[in-house]
Amino acid sequence: MIFKIAKIVGLVFAFTLVAGISAYLTLTLIIKSEDTVIVPQLEGKDVVYALEILTELELNTKVKGSEYTGDIPKNHVVFQDPQPGSEIKKGRDVRIILSKGPRTFAMPHLLGLSIQQANIILDKNDMCQGELSRTYHRQMEKDFVLAQVPASGTVVSRRSCVDLLVSIGRRPRAFKMPDLAGLTLEDAMQSIERHSLVIGELKSAYQGNKPRNTIVKQQPVSGQRIITGSSVHLLVNREARKERAGLAAGLATGNLFSYRLDSGFLNRHIRVRLNTAGFTNDLFDDFVKAGEEIWLLIPTDHEATVFLYENDRLIKTQVYNAY
The type of residue at 278 is: G
Report the run of H or E that residue 161 belongs to, with start and end.
strand 161-167
> What does R_g of the chain's alpha carbons equal in angstroms?
41
Per mean pLDDT, which range of 26-35, 93-102, 124-133, 160-169 is the poorest?
26-35
Assess whether the previous peptide bond of 220 is cis (omega < 30° from 0). Answer: yes
Picking from 207, 236, 265, the residue at the C-terminal end of a domain is 236
Query: Looking at the predicted structure, is the pLDDT value of residue 174 above 60?
Result: yes
pLDDT given for residue 299 in this prediction: 81
Q: What are the tens digits of pLDDT across the range 70-108?
A: 888 889 999 999 999 999 999 999 999 999 888 888 999
Q: pLDDT value at position 290?
A: 87
The residue among 55, 84, 102 that closes a domain is 102
How many CB atoms are located within 10 Å of the residue 12 CB?
10
Q: What is the pTM of this model?
A: 0.46
Instruction: Give the CATH number for residue 159.
Output: 3.30.10.20
Q: Please give the average per-residue pLDDT across 3-29, as a whole number.
A: 61
Q: Quote the mean pLDDT of the chain.
A: 84
Q: How many domains does the chain have?
A: 4
Residue 266 inside a domain? The answer is yes
Three-class secondary structure of residue 121 per DSSP? helix
